[in-house]
Amino acid sequence: MIEKLRAAIDAAGDAIGESFEISGVACMAGCDRPCTVAYYGSRKATYLFGDIDPETDIEDLVAFARQYAYLHDGWCSSVDRPGKLRKSTLARVPSSFIALEPTEEFTQ
């Protein structure tokens, strides 16, 4: 899947940006939902998607990469995510930058 995704991201060219990288890890603790993909950006929300099919979901992953590249904080609702990624989200983790900002709720 990594090679297919790399090729698709390369084919997308400037639509995604030069700083986008793809790397593999042996385990992302998604055993019940194999083929797990994460998107992480500095000062952005992190997303973890599971049950990804390397044969049919590459286009959705590339579409989300385009979207994610232009979201200043990485935050989007499930209805804004492409295709299968609307329902295969395992987690959305706020960036540590967002989590550390004081809010009215926590300062009172």
- Over residues 41-89, the pLDDT tens digits come to 888 999 999 999 999 999 999 999 999 988 999 999 999 999 999 999 9
Contact 80, 37 (CB under 8 A): no
**In this structure, what is the dihedral angle of CA atoms 27, 31, 35, 40, given to the nearest 10 degrees?**
-50
pLDDT in tens, 2-13: 899 989 988 887
Report how far residue 28's alpha carbon sits from residue 48's, in angstroms, rounded to the nearest whole number: 9
**Higher pLDDT pick, 95 / 17:** 95
**Higher pLDDT pick, 52 / 30:** 52
Every domain of the chain and the residues it spans = 2-107
pTM: 0.81
**H helices, E strands: number in the chain:** 4, 3
- What pLDDT, on a 0 to 100 scale, did the predictor assign at position 34? 79
